[in-house]
Structure 1
Amino acid sequence: MGANQIHHLAIGLPKDMNHGENKQIRTGIQKQIVEHAYVTEHGFQQDDVADKKNHGGPDRAVCIYPYKHYKTWEREFGVKLDKAAFGENLTVKDMSEDDVYIGNTYKVGTAVIQVTQGRIPCDTINKRTGISTLLKRVIETGYTGFLCRVLKSGKVEADDELEIINTDPRRVSVLFANQTYFHDTSNKKAIEKILTVDALAESWREKLTKRLRKL
């Protein structure tokens, strides 16, 4: 197995999910493991989100989660997590928020994708895993996973690798952006640095520009 190898590939359309005491939510977080899937600028075929306001769209077409965090959470909470438990499309080995830069471009299968932002997780993660403090810990650590736009449509196989085509020259890691976004919210210098990344997702650009104006 090479570096940046896909550990599992998952897709799924929104459906009702039971959680807690007889509660139900409609969500796209419950994805199915597949052997191959076709991805376009709108995301993977046969894959979608329920909450269109906060998820999905061209800047958030593909969701990636680092495989190594599964071990961290399983140890911390004493559980065995399902595959694609975070609703990600690609669970990837040897990639992490601290060494992936926003703007990095990767070839995966015949597709080309570009990292646009850290994921902003919601409490559906808690409902999906049954761990009430997981969202809180994901935000504290910055282990959110990250989102990508699709620069070239193509077919992705479950055993493909993400081959780096281009490392963004600004070298703003997803972890740095997450820490600024969630924890260091009035750090003018850090916000300005993130805003220099051309590939940054539009929603982040708007939010951070607004934040900068207030400082």
Structure 2
Amino acid sequence: MHIVSINIGMPQTVTIDEKPLTTGIYKQPVNGPITVTKTHCIGDGQADLIHHGGPDKAICAYASEHFSFWEQVYHRSFTPGAFGENLTLFGLTENQVCIGDVYEVGTAVIQVSQPRQPCFKLAKRHGLKDLPLKVQETGYTGFYFRVLQEGSIQKGDPLTLIDRSPLALSIHDVNTIYYIDKRNVAAMKTIVAEPALSEDWRQSFIKRMER
């Protein structure tokens, strides 16, 4: 388990379909160490601060193992940063990672907080209208970390798992309940009982159960 690439970028306004779009999804690989804080990676930014960034979504991560799948589907290359992720990782897929997992990486300590929700800007960036839906259907969403201990990280750093919640809810399992098995109340009760789950996702499941 290690960092393949660290990708950062500030929001920019681009013209897509003859309309301006301000987005922070364009991330580029960087060399050398960067500092991760409680809310973001230094040098990185988001345009939509309601749905991106903040303590529960300080770092967005994506598994490099998925790139070959998307290349076969769309017949084009996908490289680090293609999904707007800050960390392109190897050895940490949605089946392997659980909500609440705590990792040491570099001098930082980070914790998995929620799956990543693909938005329309992913489709706009690549000119692929069905990409967000396919991301949901495959479960190849990526996920977010919160930062428990600020520190410095760099390409090649290993991630060492130092703690796992007794519930051991994988990102894949949580995605399945969120996007597919939407009426599984028993599973939702278990998910909301996980203290490390982000508050946004907890409230989404609570509201769904109430309905």
Calculate the TM-score normalised by the size of structure 1: 0.94
Shift of 1:22: 2.9
Query: Runs of 4 or more off by more than 4 Å in structure 1?
Result: none
Q: Which residue of 2 aligns with 1:44?
A: 41
1:83 Cα deviation (Å)? 2.4
Contact 1:117–1:174 (Cα < 8 Å) also in 2: yes
- SS at 2:104's partner residue? strand
User: Does the Cα contact within 8 Å between 1:65 and 1:91 map onto a contact in 2?
Assistant: yes
Q: How many residues of Structure 1 are paired with residues of Structure 2 in the alignment? A: 210
Matches within 5 A, 1:194-205: 194-205=191-202
1:115-165, CA deviations, whole angstroms, 9 ceiling, x for partnerless residues?
A: 010011101111112222111100111111000100000001111111111
For residues 57 and 115 of structure 1, what CA distance do their matches in structure 2 show? 14
How far apart are residue 24 of structure 1 and its match?
A: 2.7
Letter in 1 for 2:24: G
Q: 1:116 aligns to what?
A: 113
**Residue matched to 2:162:** 165
CA distance in 2, matches of 1:141, 1:33: 25
Contact 1:81 1:129 in 2 (8 A): no
TM-score (norm 2): 0.96
1:27 equivalent to 2:23? Answer: yes
Asked if 1:182 is matched to 2:179, the reply is yes
Residue equivalent to 2:104: 107
Question: Structure 1: 5+ residue runs without aligned partners?
Answer: none
In structure 1, C-alpha distance between the alignment counterparts of 2:20 and 2:69, rounded to whole Å: 28
1:23 to partner: Cα distance: 3.0
Match of 2:5 among 5, 8, 12: 8
- Residue from 194, 201, 206 that aligns with 1:209: 206
Structure 2's unaligned 5+ residue stretches are none
Decide which of 95, 98, 113 is 1:98's aligned counterpart: 95
Shift of 1:197: 0.9
* Identical columns (%): 40
Give the Cα–Cα distance (whole angstroms) in 2 for the partners of residues 27 and 80 of structure 1: 21
